[in-house]
A and B are shown apart, each in its own frame.
Chain A
Amino acid sequence: MTTKPKIQIDDEVREMTDEELADLLASGWSPDDENEPER
């Protein structure tokens, strides 16, 4: 089972909902990529 990214709202930390994750991905966010090129 894949773990969703975590969202923090003030002191509350939880996994994102599907809708929150979709919004994040739509904004261009990506998971860690160790092969991301140097600037």
Chain B
Amino acid sequence: MAYPTFASGDVLTASDMNAVGLWLIKTQTIGSAVSTVNVTSAFSSDYDNYLIQISNTVVSANQPNLGIRLGATATSYAYSGLYISFSSGTITGDVTTTATYFNVGACGNGTASAGRISMDVIVKNPNLPVASFFSATNGSLAWSNMYNGYINTSTQYTDFTILPSSGTLTGGKIRVYGMKN
């Protein structure tokens, strides 16, 4: 079969299905005015690496950072990155090795229009007993953000939490995809 182009009525063989690169593991709708969102049963031994997408959630605060934590670990996240203002063009570097979460970047200004964000985070190794690595891009109407980082623990995580540095999140979806090993 000439995948990935399938025709109506084609039989999907194991080899075709096993070649699927991204598998949607879970979709989580974000509630109203929540300060943290914990997504359970996201990581497992099925995949080494994951893509987490958050779309169309709105922050309540004025330009908070958005963070991600693995399990209950709330210390020693390392990240470096930069954020760029769409209004001024200013580029700012940002680096730490002692954060309480992996920083995905800065959000908009806390309104239903400009507070809307869209972000992708690739998480490598969260369920393996080695360091986990993050790569993130986050776009809002105010900022463009690019970050990389790690948490150097051997904990095998199954869940993660999304949280803004201030205020709350309302609406939108979190989608978790496993990347074919």
Residues of A within 8 A of B (CB): 5-11, 13, 16, 23-24, 26-34, 36, 38-39
Contact = CB atoms under 8 A, between A and B. Distances in A.
A9 B110 CA distance: 23
A29 B34 CA distance: 13
Nearest to B69: A27
A20 to B, nearest CB: 8
| In the complex, the 7 A-B pairs of residues with the closest C-beta atoms, listed nearest first | A5-B35, A27-B100, A32-B167, A8-B34, A30-B166, A13-B31, A36-B62
A22 to B, nearest CB: 12
Given A27-B100, A36-B61, A36-B62, A6 B34 contact: yes
Interface residues of B, number: 32
Contacts of B110: 32
A27 to B, nearest CB: 4
Contacts of A29: 35, 163-166
Provide the main secondary structure of the chain A interface: loop
Contacts of A9: 38, 40
A33 B61 contact: yes
B36 A32 contact: no
A23 B168 contact: no
Interface string B36-57: 1111100000000000000000
Contacts of B137: none
A38 to B, nearest CB: 7
A6 to B, nearest CB: 5
A5 B168 CA distance: 8
A24 B62 contact: no
6 contacts: A6-B168, A8-B31, A31-B166, A32-B62, A32-B110, A36-B63
